[in-house]
Amino acid sequence: MLKNRYGTDALSVAMMVVVIALLLINIPLQNILLSLVGMVITALVIFRMGSRNKEKRMAENRKYLLRVQGIKVKIKQWRVRFTGRKQFKYTRCPKCRAMLRLPRGAGQVSARCRACEHVFTCRV
């Protein structure tokens, strides 16, 4: 009966998590707008799961995964910079904007960017 249908993927699961969160938030609020938004997202999830256009659904999921991966990378970079904030100073290359890690307490240093080989001086 549901042969040749797309099924679930990471985007569908994330959308259902949003729906569950909206419904839990809406329990004390009793807001009709939140209920309506939850129903619309649920309808989209059902549509995606029952779709026969697998290529288009896979492309949507790929876009979602790329965005989520970018966010995860940014969070990981922030966490690493935060934990090393006492030992290192993080600065950007003035030419290519690449992030550089320099040791704290060294005074004025001459730094070379690994990405573009630009040499500049920086106070750390």
- Please provide the DSSP assignment of 32-52 as one string: HHHHHHHHHHHHHHHHHHH-S
Same domain, yes or no: 72 and 92: no
User: Residue 57 in contact with residue 51, Cβ under 8 Å?
Assistant: yes
Query: What is the predicted pLDDT for the residue at 68?
Result: 95
Question: How is residue 30 written in tokens?
Answer: 């009793």
- The count of structural domains within the chain is 2
Same domain, yes or no: 99 and 118: yes
User: Residue 26 in contact with residue 35, Cβ under 8 Å?
Assistant: yes
Same domain, yes or no: 94 and 76: no
Residues in contact with 28: Cβ distance below 8 Å, sequence separation at least 6, in sequence order = none
Q: Three-state DSSP class for 59?
A: helix
Same domain, yes or no: 36 and 59: yes
Is the pTM higher than 0.85? no
Same domain, yes or no: 122 and 78: no
- The H-or-E segment that residue 24 falls in is helix 10-29
Q: What is the pLDDT along the chain (124 residues), one digit of tens a residue?
A: 567 888 899 999 999 999 999 999 999 999 999 999 999 999 999 999 999 999 999 999 999 999 999 999 999 999 999 999 999 999 999 999 999 999 998 889 999 999 999 999 988 8
Query: What is the predicted pLDDT for the residue at 4?
Result: 82
Q: Which domain holds residue 119?
A: 86-124
Same domain, yes or no: 27 and 70: yes
Q: Locate the DSSP E strands across 3-115.
A: 88-92, 99-103, 108-112
